[in-house]
Amino acid sequence: MELSYTLLDQAVRILGCPCRAQESMSRHTTFQIGGPADRFITVETPAQLKGLVKVLKEQELPYLLLGKGSNLLVSDKGIRGAVLSLSGDFKGVEALPGGLVRAGAAASLAAVCAFARDRGLSGLEFAWGIPGSVGGAAYMDAGAYGGEMRDVVERVHHLTPEGEEGSAAGEELQFDYRKSRYTGGRDIITFVDFRLTPGDPAQIGAQMEELMNRRKSKQPYDMPSAGSVFKRPKEGFAAALIEECGLKGLRAGGAQVSEKHCGFIVNTGGATCADVLALIEEIRKVVLEKKGILLETEVRMTGEA
């Protein structure tokens, strides 16, 4: 079905949102992979977001919310519909009374971690170095080194597909391993409130640097990737299973199982989505044959099949 963008383009101009047609998603994902999005719209205020969601719903146009693109694999054919990239107001970070920190969904985890450290607030040290946005982290309960978003998130604010503001807290968030109430849903995360505890800025900073050094020593920070490709299975660790199966360095086109960390697939140059998918399927097949364990993907796949 041919999609019509006439009214959306008109709304974009009225709302004052920067918009590009046929924008390559390889420019907006950490994998540096992905075909063109029909419309790539930068959204800077809650009012703009409400206006766009209203038009998108009325026109029955599909849309994707984009954070840092750090856990995303986009089809080589690209994305039909609109990609909404939050910016402006959604990148802000502020201190609230009672040890709370509110961050926009588009704020980088690095920015929030540094904000907390500089104000002597502890709890987010584990997230230093996770290359994602606040919204994406809450969406998938991101975690590392024994810490997860569920440990520090107090409340998540969102916009429903009907354009209504809402929020969720506590058990309503339905946090579980790499998922939340928002995973697979249509509510748009706009802001996240973190509950942190007082600490010594120097000690907080030292712990952050220690974890960052561990990351850099073990993970392929120097090559494009989407982070950990597979979820942690109940029977051990995906990276160890992949290495034990002799798959370190395995390639499909420009995609390769990282020589540094087998839980990562890296883009060695010119890798396509098809390359990555072929490599994922080969890894899953071999690990199942040799270990009897079916690996589940953690990376989110989207776009036209």
Spatial contact of 85 and 188, defined as CB atoms under 8 Å apart: no
Measured in whole angstroms, the distance separating CA 124 from the mean position of its chain's CA atoms is 17
What is the number of other CB atoms lying within 10 angstroms of the CB of residue 232?
16
Instruction: For residues 172 and 175, give the distance between their C-alpha atoms in angstroms, rounded to a whole number.
Output: 8
The active-site residue, picked from 23, 44, 148, 298, is 298
* Bridge partner list, 176: 179
The active-site residue, picked from 178, 180, 225, 258, is 178
Instruction: For residues 64 and 62, give the distance between their C-alpha atoms in angstroms, rounded to a whole number.
Output: 7
The active-site residue, picked from 26, 108, 122, 228, is 228
Is residue 232 among the annotated active site residues?
no
Q: CB-based burial of residue 127 (10 Å sphere; 0-12 exposed, 13-18 middle, 19+ buried)?
A: buried
Is residue 2 among the annotated active site residues?
no
Is residue 258 among the annotated active site residues?
no
Spatial contact of 78 and 37, defined as CB atoms under 8 Å apart: yes
Residues tagged active-site: 178, 228, 298
